[in-house]
């Protein structure tokens, strides 16, 4: 076998032509979204005022395994895909480990993360439906940036509700979005009824993704020609992100590499769901047995300390209920938490896989994540996003364990993006001012007490 290159790229004719819908092969399907009023499964008609029609069809379909990628989206993908699968030779050497480490790098586009993979698909379907524009929320700003790029490409209006703490801490993200023509509002705002209500109940709040979602949905449903789009959590987003896993699978196959462990960070679950999709398919079918690990922040530990239950997807309780690992829709993570992994819930697909024991989860404290990020940056060159660095941390730990046991395991992890807009967090880390806030059991109990009762 020839030497494995530092970077494995696919040729254009080796690129995936269809997205893969893991739900089609799951024995226990993820639970359906429920109507917040009636608690009946949401129908396409219920969802039509909120989401684009074709995206609703993708959302509700747990039978079709492959969805062909439309040509217009393929053409856009060609501008920044395939993303490289990198063999981390330099990191392996620095760790002096027998492990073989690979990472799939999604930061090679202007928005700096994997989110563009779904943003372009969602903008395409909105345009195809003849809509005027879309609304959304953004936390750390990557999703808003990706969506702004996608909307400007297809000539759609884009209204972004940005979590207030990020709006203030990340002015450059905001300006990138405005450069691509988006209208950016800090959330909670006084522009919406739900925003005014949240501000009245929690004066001085720094906001949360849950609040921003409520505002964006209110504006979408109240403005003719608009729909709401979401950058994570939903089944349709995992479907689009399967491009990450399918490319990874093809790149590994090209060199006859079989992974032992696959690791990804988990906020709402979209990059992880996409990365693992084809590998989980083979695991479910008994064709292979991989260890698949989700990494979440100790400050927002949905899998490891949350409850598997129906919950609201947003703070304002206007969205459907989803069955997921959740910390409660009222949970607002500490504002000093740097990463974008702040959502209270988790993709219902990943939640079901975790409940079935097919997926492991680990939570890690923030300062250890930044130690890993710095270690990685110094040898591999890439400046990683704090979110991505959760996966780096666990991949390094795994490689160091291999050093002790002498096992030459093959580790694959998702490097979801770059951290150029996260220098305030890096600064806090370097100045020794970063803290590891971990919610108390009482705090979580208080939030989980307010889960809706669904029978
Ligand atoms: C948004 C984001 C994440 C987390 O979102 P998921 O939906 O869990 O993938 C991870 N890394 C980066 C760089 C992000 O922008």
Task: Assess whether the C-beta atom of 340 lies below 6 angstroms from ligand 1.
Answer: yes
d(CA 42, CA 310) in angstroms, rounded, equals 13
pLDDT value of residue 200: 96
Q: Residue 416: is its pLDDT beyond 70?
A: yes
Average pLDDT over residues 369-395: 98
* Residue 417 Cβ contacting ligand 1 at under 6 Å: yes
Mean pLDDT for the stretch of residues 371-378: 98
Render 224-242 in DSSP notation, one character per residue: TTEEE--SSSSHHHHHHHH
Distance (Å) from CA 169 to ligand 1 centroid: 18
Average pLDDT, the chain: 95
pLDDT digits (tens, 9 = 90+) for 59-115: 999 999 999 999 999 999 999 999 999 999 999 999 999 999 999 999 999 999 999
pLDDT of residue 454 exceeding 70: yes
Q: Residues 137, 161: contact at Cβ < 8 Å? A: yes
Mean pLDDT (whole number) for 382-401: 98
Sequence-separated (6 or more) residues with CB below 8 Å from residue 144 = 136, 137, 138, 160, 162, 173, 177, 182, 184
Query: Would you state the pLDDT for residue 337?
Result: 64
Same fold, 21-69+115-228 and 81-112+241-448: yes
Q: Who has greater pLDDT, 136 or 335?
A: 136
Burial of residue 66 (number of CB atoms within 10 Å: 0-12, 13-18, 19+) = middle
The pLDDT tens digits of the residues spanning 275-297 come to 999 999 999 999 999 999 999 99
When mean pLDDT is compared across 75-89, 159-173, 246-260, 369-383, the lowest value belongs to 159-173
The pLDDT value given to residue 333: 75
Residue among 110, 170, 270 to mutate when testing ligand 1 (max atoms within 8 A of CB): 270
Query: Which of the residue ranges 61-75, 164-178, 400-414 would you say has the lowest mean pLDDT?
Result: 164-178
Question: Does 21-69+115-228 carry CATH code 3.30.420.40?
Answer: no
* pLDDT at res. 336: 65
Question: Distance (Å, rounded) from C-alpha 422 to C-alpha 419?
Answer: 5
pLDDT of residue 329: 87
- Ligand 1 in reach of 166 Cβ (< 6 A): no
The pLDDT value recorded for residue 3 is 85
Question: Do the beta carbons of residue 265 and residue 295 sit within 8 Å?
Answer: yes
**How far is ligand 1, taken at its centre, from the CA of residue 405, in Å?**
32
Percent helix / strand / coil, the chain, rounded to 5: 45, 15, 40
Residue extents of the structural domains in the chain: 21-69+115-228, 81-112+241-448
Q: Mean pLDDT over residues 206-230, rounded?
A: 93
How is domain 81-112+241-448 classified at the CATH fold level?
Rossmann fold (3.40.50)
Q: Which atom of ligand 1 is closest in space to residue 231's alpha carbon?
A: 7
Q: How far apart are CA 51 and CA 262, in angstroms?
A: 32
User: How far is CA 18 from its chain centroid?
Assistant: 20
């Amino acid at each position: 076998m020839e030497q494995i290159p530092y970077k494995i790229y696919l040729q254009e004719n080796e690129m995936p032509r269809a997205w893969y819908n893991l739900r089609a092969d799951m024995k226990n399907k993820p639970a359906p979204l429920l109507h917040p009023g009636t608690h009946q499964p949401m129908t396409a008609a219920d969802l039509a005022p909120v989401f684009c029609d074709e995206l609703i069809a993708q959302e509700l379909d747990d039978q079709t395994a492959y969805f062909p990628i439309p040509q217009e989206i393929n053409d856009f993908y060609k501008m920044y895909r395939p993303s490289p699968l990198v063999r981390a030779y330099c990191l392996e050497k620095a760790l002096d480990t027998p492990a073989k480490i690979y990472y799939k790098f999604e930061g090679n586009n202007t928005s700096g993360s994997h989110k563009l993979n779904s943003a372009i698909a969602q903008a395409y379907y909105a345009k195809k439906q003849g809509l005027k524009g879309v609304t959304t929320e953004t936390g750390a700003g990557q999703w808003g940036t990706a969506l702004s790029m996608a909307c400007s490409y297809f000539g759609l209006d884009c209204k972004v509700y940005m979590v207030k703490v990020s709006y203030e801490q990340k002015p450059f993200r905001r300006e990138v979005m405005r450069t691509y023509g988006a209208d950016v509002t800090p959330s909670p705002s006084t522009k919406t009824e739900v925003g005014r209500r949240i501000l009245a109940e929690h004066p001085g709040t720094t906001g949360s993704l849950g609040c921003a979602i409520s505002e964006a949905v209110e504006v979408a449903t109240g403005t003719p020609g608009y729909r709401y789009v979401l950058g994570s959590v939903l089944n349709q987003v995992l479907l689009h992100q399967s491009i990450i896993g399918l490319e990874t699978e093809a790149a590994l196959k090209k060199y006859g590499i079989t992974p032992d462990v696959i690791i990804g960070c988990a906020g709402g679950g979209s990059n992880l769901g996409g990365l693992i999709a084809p590998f989980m398919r083979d695991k479910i079918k008994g064709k292979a047995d991989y260890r698949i690990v989700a990494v979440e922040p100790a400050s927002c530990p949905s899998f490891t300390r949350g409850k598997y239950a129906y919950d609201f997807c947003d703070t304002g309780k206007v969205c459907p209920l989803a069955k997921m690992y959740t910390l409660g829709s009222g949970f607002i993570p500490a504002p000093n938490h740097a990463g974008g992994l702040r959502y209270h819930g988790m993709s219902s697909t990943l939640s079901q896989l975790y409940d079935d024991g097919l997926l492991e989860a680990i939570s890690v404290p923030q300062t250890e994540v930044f130690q890993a990020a710095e270690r990685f940056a110094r040898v591999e060159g890439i400046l990683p996003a704090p979110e991505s660095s959760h996966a780096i941390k666990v991949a390094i730990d795994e490689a160091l364990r291999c050093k002790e046991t002498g096992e030459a395991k093959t580790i694959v992890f998702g490097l979801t993006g770059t951290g150029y807009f996260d220098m305030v967090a890096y600064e806090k880390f370097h100045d020794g001012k970063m803290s590891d806030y971990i919610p108390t059991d009482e705090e979580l109990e208080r939030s989980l007490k307010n889960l809706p009762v669904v029978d």
